[in-house]
Amino acid sequence: MSEDADGVVPVLDQVTLTVLAEELNDTVAFIRFLERYFRMLPGRTERILHALEQRDTAQTMDAVLSLRISSAMVGALGIEEQCRTLQDMVHSGAWPAAALQGSRLQRTVDRFRDSEERLLREGEELTRTT
């Protein structure tokens, strides 16, 4: 498995997934949660990019926070970290840097989506061992 150009490997943190699986205590619910996360990635990313384009601080922060929290819940720590960086840039008013970070985030999300089948399979396998 290789890093993308921005240094992010499309993996889900096993510890985070284990905790989520144990909390849900239901394999079907766990897999649906992961599937929903992947299904919502394009819309969440598009919302961020649109808000960045508009330089709308409130909308950008809201959209980034939504993606950051959901990514943390499923262990997509690379996406979560990129969201934190983007939040800092927007908070400080560094819009050109934030736009570049938005492009990096888009590439990372694309890599995660390209790896969706493998990541879901790994999640399913994890539920067999917890």
Q: How would you write the pLDDT of the chain (130 residues) with one tens digit per residue?
A: 444 555 556 788 989 999 998 999 888 999 999 999 999 999 999 999 999 999 999 999 999 999 999 999 999 999 999 999 999 999 999 999 999 999 999 999 999 998 889 888 888 888 877 6
Question: Three-class SS string for the chain?
Answer: CCCCCCCCCCCCCHHHHHHHHHHHCCHHHHHHHHHHHHHHHHHHHHHHHHHHHHCCHHHHHHHHHHHHHHHHHHCCHHHHHHHHHHHHHHHCCCHHHHHHHHHHHHHHHHHHHHCHHHHHHHHHHHHHHC
pTM summary value: 0.88
